[in-house]
């Protein structure tokens, strides 16, 4: 579950939903700071902030927030030696502080603006600052330097804040629509990628086989012309046709892709790259080394590698470097247009924590799973 499904629900629904976002975590936690879920007025839950142990209580808290129209911060202490009610019953360990907000008026407006900007290919940073009475929402371009947005003294005086980056789903292109692509597609569509299936065979590259993917039919040249590869794209070459794979690699190498994965044996990969220099964004053979055998197991190793690379890339952005912590691509990312800030203030009253009170925390950067 990623933030985009929450945004889709907010855009399509007019009921009074409540957004729950993890503010800070101490110790072990199933989800990280910035993870969110949505509680709709009809009782539907979208996303998760725990393995299921907190959602029932959060549903009750969300009902109170919906009725009052005011935000709340609640704290759950899951350490058995600290909280006899939650710690011993749940046994997960750790302490979470969660912000519950009614999705209406200005919050709904800035979330929909974030979705609109994502639709144009831009990442945004949503900053919340609050006191006992109100929350201020500020939307920035994600490329802005957060430390330079405000005076440092002002930020230190306002410890209750959360900054999250909401980015478009990264695009993953699978060149080749065989069994391997089918197995990879079945996994990666569930972990936050926008999947494109590209092949020269209409009988294989069809919406019937890949109902949730974008299907592009043509030669390597036609596919590249239509897709216009970008520096934040991922590409897997897996057609098993030596000439066509070589054509795609030749066209893709000049583009500073995040990831270029090649499916096949080391011997075949040497044949594909015999006249090409191999940059560091290329993974060949593709997938983590887990002893995988057959399409489904190989797909698991590939999905795990994609998750690791994406997480490393996000970690690099959080630290301001923009580089991948899992491996460092030869090329840096492209530039993004700068948008003006969109400010909004919502009236609210911070409630006492539902469980043990936790100290106010400041999170300067968290990134939603893309």
Over the stretch 276-301, which tens digit does the pLDDT of each residue have?
778 889 998 899 999 989 999 999 99
Residues 231 and 272 occupy one common structural domain: yes
Residues 150 and 217 occupy one common structural domain: no
Beta carbons within 10 angstroms of residue 316's beta carbon: 17
Of the pLDDT bands very low, low, confident and very high (cuts 50, 70, 90), residue 207 is very high
Residues 30 and 146 occupy one common structural domain: yes
Residue 327 domain-assigned (yes or no): no
Within 8 A by CB and 6+ apart from 245, the residues are 175, 176, 237, 238, 239, 262, 272
Helix (H, G, I), strand (E, B) or coil at 5: helix
Whether 321 shows a pLDDT value over 60: the answer reads no
Residues 208 and 310 occupy one common structural domain: yes
Q: Of the candidates 227, 239, 4, 14, which has an alpha carbon nearest to the alpha carbon of residue 108?
A: 14
Distances in Å between the alpha carbon of 104 and those of 12, 59, 71, 332?
Answer: 13, 18, 11, 38
Stretch 353-370: mean pLDDT: 36
The span from the CA of 109 to the CA of 69, in Å, is: 16
User: What pLDDT, on a 0 to 100 scale, did the predictor assign at position 204?
Assistant: 96
Residue indicated by tokens 């590259």: 205
Residues 157 and 215 occupy one common structural domain: no
Residues 119 and 247 occupy one common structural domain: no
Q: 141-145, 223-227, 342-346 — which one is most confidently predicted on average?
A: 223-227
User: What pLDDT, on a 0 to 100 scale, did the predictor assign at position 252?
Assistant: 95
Residues 17 and 157 occupy one common structural domain: yes
Residue 286 domain-assigned (yes or no): yes
User: What pLDDT, on a 0 to 100 scale, did the predictor assign at position 208?
Assistant: 95
Stretch 157-165: mean pLDDT: 78
Beta carbons within 10 angstroms of residue 184's beta carbon: 31
Residues 20 and 156 occupy one common structural domain: yes
DSSP H/E element including 26: strand 18-26
User: What pLDDT, on a 0 to 100 scale, did the predictor assign at position 159?
Assistant: 66
Mean pLDDT taken over the chain: 80
What is the end-to-end Cα distance of the chain in Å, rounded?
10
Which residue range(s) make up the domain with 80? 3-167+337-367
Of the pLDDT bands very low, low, confident and very high (cuts 50, 70, 90), residue 347 is very low
CA R_g for the chain: 22
Tokens of 325: 């912590």
Q: What angle do CA 227, 230, 231 make, to 5 degrees?
A: 155
Of the pLDDT bands very low, low, confident and very high (cuts 50, 70, 90), residue 363 is very low
Strand arrangement, sheet containing 259-262 = 214-217, 194-199, 171-175, 234-237, 259-262, 282-283
Whether 337 shows a pLDDT value over 80: the answer reads no
The span from the CA of 315 to the CA of 291, in Å, is: 28
The span from the CA of 268 to the CA of 284, in Å, is: 10
Residues 30 and 157 occupy one common structural domain: yes
Whether 222 shows a pLDDT value over 90: the answer reads yes
Lowest pLDDT segment from 150-159, 212-221, 264-273:
150-159
How does DSSP assign 268-335, residue by residue?
HHHHHTTTS---TTEESS-S--S---SHHHHHHHHHHHHHHHHHHHHHHHHTT--S-SS---SS----
Residue 323 domain-assigned (yes or no): no
User: What pLDDT, on a 0 to 100 scale, did the predictor assign at position 357?
Assistant: 34
Backbone dihedral region for residue 174 (phi beyond 0: left; psi -120 to 50: alpha; all else: beta):
beta
Stretch 144-170: mean pLDDT: 66
Q: What CATH number corresponds to the domain at position 314?
A: 3.40.50.720
Residues 138 and 186 occupy one common structural domain: no
Residue 66 domain-assigned (yes or no): yes
Of the pLDDT bands very low, low, confident and very high (cuts 50, 70, 90), residue 92 is low
Residue 15 domain-assigned (yes or no): yes
User: What pLDDT, on a 0 to 100 scale, did the predictor assign at position 317?
Assistant: 54
pLDDT digits (tens, 9 = 90+) for 350-361: 433 343 333 334
Beta carbons within 10 angstroms of residue 208's beta carbon: 7
Residues 149 and 201 occupy one common structural domain: no
User: What pLDDT, on a 0 to 100 scale, did the predictor assign at position 274?
Assistant: 81
Contact 290, 301 (CB under 8 A): yes
Question: Judging by DSSP bridges, how do beta strands 134-141 and 342-347 pair with one another?
Answer: antiparallel
The span from the CA of 160 to the CA of 13, in Å, is: 29
Distances in Å between the alpha carbon of 62 and those of 5, 25, 81?
Answer: 19, 20, 28
Within 8 A by CB and 6+ apart from 296, the residues are 183
Stretch 189-196: mean pLDDT: 93
Residues 82 and 209 occupy one common structural domain: no
Residue 350 domain-assigned (yes or no): yes
Tokens of 44: 């539907």
User: What pLDDT, on a 0 to 100 scale, did the predictor assign at position 79?
Assistant: 67
Partners of 24 in the beta sheet? 97
Q: How many domains does the chain have?
A: 2
User: What pLDDT, on a 0 to 100 scale, did the predictor assign at position 312?
Assistant: 85
Partners of 235 in the beta sheet? 173, 260
Of the pLDDT bands very low, low, confident and very high (cuts 50, 70, 90), residue 11 is very high
Tokens of 314: 């996000």
Residue 242 domain-assigned (yes or no): yes
Whether 341 shows a pLDDT value over 80: the answer reads no
Residue 68 domain-assigned (yes or no): yes
User: What pLDDT, on a 0 to 100 scale, did the predictor assign at position 25?
Assistant: 85
């Amino acid at each position: 579950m990623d933030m985009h499904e929450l945004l889709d629900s907010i855009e399509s629904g007019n009921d009074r939903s409540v957004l729950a976002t993890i503010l800070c975590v101490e110790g072990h936690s199933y989800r990280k700071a910035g993870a969110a879920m949505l509680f709709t007025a009809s009782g539907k839950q979208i996303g998760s902030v725990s393995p299921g142990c907190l959602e029932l209580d959060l549903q009750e808290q969300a009902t109170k927030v919906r009725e009052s129209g005011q935000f709340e911060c609640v704290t759950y202490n899951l350490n058995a030696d600290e909280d006899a009610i939650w710690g011993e019953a749940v046994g997960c360990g750790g302490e979470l502080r969660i912000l519950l907000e009614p999705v209406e008026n200005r919050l709904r407006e800035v979330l929909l603006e974030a979705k609109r900007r994502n639709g144009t290919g831009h990442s945004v940073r949503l900053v919340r600052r609050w006191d006992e009475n109100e929350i201020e929402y500020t939307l920035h371009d994600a490329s802005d330097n957060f430390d330079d947005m405000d005076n440092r003294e002002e930020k230190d005086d306002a410890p209750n804040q959360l900054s999250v980056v909401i980015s478009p789903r990264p695009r993953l292109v699978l060149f080749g629509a065989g069994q391997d692509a089918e197995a990879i597609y079945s996994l990666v569509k569930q972990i936050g990628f926008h999947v494109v299936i590209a092949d020269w065979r209409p009988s294989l590259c069809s919406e019937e086989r890949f109902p949730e993917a974008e299907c592009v039919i043509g030669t390597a040249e036609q596919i590249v012309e239509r897709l216009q590869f970008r520096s934040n794209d991922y590409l897997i070459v897996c057609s098993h046709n030596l000439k066509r794979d070589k054509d795609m690699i030749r066209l893709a190498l000049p583009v500073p892709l995040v990831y270029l994965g090649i499916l096949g044996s080391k011997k075949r990969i040497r044949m594909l790259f015999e006249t090409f220099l191999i940059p560091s964004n290329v993974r060949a053979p593709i997938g983590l080394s887990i002893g995988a055998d057959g399409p489904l197991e190989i797909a698991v190793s590939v999905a795990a590698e994609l998750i690791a690379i994406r997480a490393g890339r996000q970690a690099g952005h959080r630290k301001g470097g923009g580089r991948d912590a899992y491996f460092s691509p030869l090329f840096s990312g492209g530039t993004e247009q700068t948008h003006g800030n969109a400010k909004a203030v919502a009236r609210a009253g911070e409630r006492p924590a539902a469980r043990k009170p936790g100290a106010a925390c400041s999170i300067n950067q968290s990134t939603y799973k893309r």
